[in-house]
Structure 1
Amino acid sequence: MKKLIRVWDLPIRLFHWLLVACIVGSLICVNIGGNAIQWHAYFGYSILTLLIFRIIWGFIGSTYARFSSFLPNREAITNYLQGKSPRFLGHNPIGALSVFALLLVLSVQAVTGLFVDDEIAFQGPLSKYLSESSVSFLSEIHESNQVVIYTLIAIHIAAIWYYKKFKGEDLIRPMISGDKEIDPSEEAKYLPSDLGRPSKDGGLQRGLALLLLSLIAVVVGYLITVS
């Protein structure tokens, strides 16, 4: 019988899929253009709220949600690429690089979007506080950064396919159920310390996450509406 270990808590799973939905919605709206640009902005504000939550949760969340559990370094990356590393319950070193890269470029996109002014259909809520040249510069970053986002998303999807096809590791199912299935014959490939520390995912944990996300949403909404 396979051993089930809770890796991803409910807040992380909801963050992940809500972020996916918001990114897809944002990309659809920006390509439609016209009045849909306002919905593009709403999705952007939602992405900003989710990113702030994820950054904070990376310090106070459950075991494998914390940045400290998957902060990559050169030695870890080298050992992983050379096949010298144990298996990882959470993010492996390469996956960790992908996570940090996505958080960075999405944060850049969400923040610069607050200052965008296309002089046609949309003006960011904070653009009026900067000079015309600064707004133009940030608008260019917002537009060109899309290419980086598309590239990282493509790499992310390709990595999921690669692990499923060639390593027999389903990365999507644990992000839905929260649990990773460990075959008893495979346990020796993991660190014993990892197998003995499942993520906390109880009512208190979820309540804290809900309260945190709600507070962030209120603050972001307030700052946008009063600007």
Structure 2
Amino acid sequence: MSSNTLQTIKVWDVLIRVFHWSLVGFFTLAYLTEGEDEWMTIHSYAGYSILILLVFRLLWGVIGTHHARFSNFVTRPKNALIYVKALATGKAKDYVGHNPAGALMIITLIISIAITGFSGMALYATDGYGPLATSFFATWPEGAIKEVHEFFANFTVFLVVIHVGGVLVSSLLHKENLIRAMVTGKKHRPLEK
């Protein structure tokens, strides 16, 4: 398509974009500092930052701008499967905001990251540190909490790889740069007639 047949549409607001890239940065920092005692302070603060970001995202998913609201894009998992099948055949509908597979990925990532963060706080509490140090979470078995924390941290990385792959496939199929759109907040769409 030539540029004169495209219109620019604002899709993702600045808060969603800052949330997204901050989450990428803090998760990467937390993941890279995992298991190193000398980096534990950085690791834990990165984890706290992630949990604060998730609380913001849940709130913004209810009161935020149109494309940020969960009511605008969350759908049944069946619709995500239908979308992925259509994507495989090259016949997937193009969405202005999140497609059904992207919506399912967002919800799955939020859940996985939340479990990772909460289990990290609980694990830190077993050593007598953090906001949960004086709670009953500090009495939970350290080994089990550590396994949950590590599993969900690695599961989140797995989800991120699928997410990035989906973004690349969708970008190629629909001939739009979704990564640029998550930086600028804008998508280029065909002019409506």
TM-score, structure 1 normalization = 0.72
Give 1:202's aligned residue: none
Give 2:189's aligned residue: 182
1:18 aligns with 2:22: yes
Cα distance change on mapping 1:74 and 1:139 into 2, 3 Å: closer
Please give the secondary structure, in 2, of the residue aligned with 1:30: coil
Shift of 1:105: 0.4
Give 1:9's aligned residue: 13
Q: Distance in 2 between matches of 1:108 and 1:119?
A: 16
In structure 1, what residue type is equivalent to 2:190?
D
Q: Deviations over 1:104-142 (max 9, x none)?
A: 00011111111104977x844314422634554333211
Shift of 1:159: 1.3
Task: Work out which of the residue numbers 41, 44, 47 in structure 2 matches 1:41.
Answer: 44
In structure 1, what residue type is equivalent to 2:170?
Y
Q: Deviations over 1:5-57 (max 9, x none)?
A: 111001101000111110111111115x1210110000000000000000000
In structure 2, what residue type is equivalent to 1:3?
Q
- Count of residues paired in the alignment: 184
Q: Distance in 2 between matches of 1:126 and 1:17?
A: 27
Please give the secondary structure, in 2, of the residue aligned with 1:164: helix
Please give the secondary structure, in 2, of the residue aligned with 1:114: helix
Q: How does 1:163-202 map to 2 (within 5 A)?
A: 163-184=170-191, 187=192
Residues 76 and 93 of structure 1 are in contact (CA less than 8 Å); yes or no, is this contact kept in structure 2?
A: yes
Cα distance change on mapping 1:151 and 1:93 into 2, 3 Å: same
Give 1:201's aligned residue: none
Q: Distance in 2 between matches of 1:175 and 1:16?
A: 8
1:113 aligns with 2:120: yes
Flag structure 1 segments of 5+ consecutive residues without an equivalent: 189-227
Please give the secondary structure, in 1, of the residue aligned with 2:188: strand
Shift of 1:73: 1.8
Q: Distance in 2 between matches of 1:59 and 1:142?
A: 28
Give 2:79's aligned residue: 76
Please give the secondary structure, in 2, of the residue aligned with 1:126: coil
1:104 aligns with 2:107: no
Residues 57 and 66 of structure 1 are in contact (CA less than 8 Å); yes or no, is this contact kept in structure 2?
A: yes
Q: Distance in 1 between matches of 2:66 and 2:123?
A: 37
In structure 2, what residue type is equivalent to 1:26?
A
Residues 127 and 135 of structure 1 are in contact (CA less than 8 Å); yes or no, is this contact kept in structure 2?
A: no
Residues 114 and 125 of structure 1 are in contact (CA less than 8 Å); yes or no, is this contact kept in structure 2?
A: yes
Task: Work out which of the residue numbers 152, 165, 177 in structure 2 matches 1:158.
Answer: 165
Residues 115 and 125 of structure 1 are in contact (CA less than 8 Å); yes or no, is this contact kept in structure 2?
A: no
Residues 60 and 69 of structure 2 are in contact (CA less than 8 Å); yes or no, is this contact kept in structure 1?
A: yes
Q: Distance in 1 between matches of 2:41 and 2:175?
A: 42
Give 1:27's aligned residue: 31
Q: Distance in 2 between matches of 1:129 and 1:118?
A: 8
Flag structure 2 segments of 5+ consecutive residues without an equivalent: none
Q: Distance in 2 between matches of 1:55 and 1:63?
A: 14
Q: Distance in 2 between matches of 1:40 and 1:144?
A: 16
Cα distance change on mapping 1:94 and 1:162 into 2, 3 Å: same
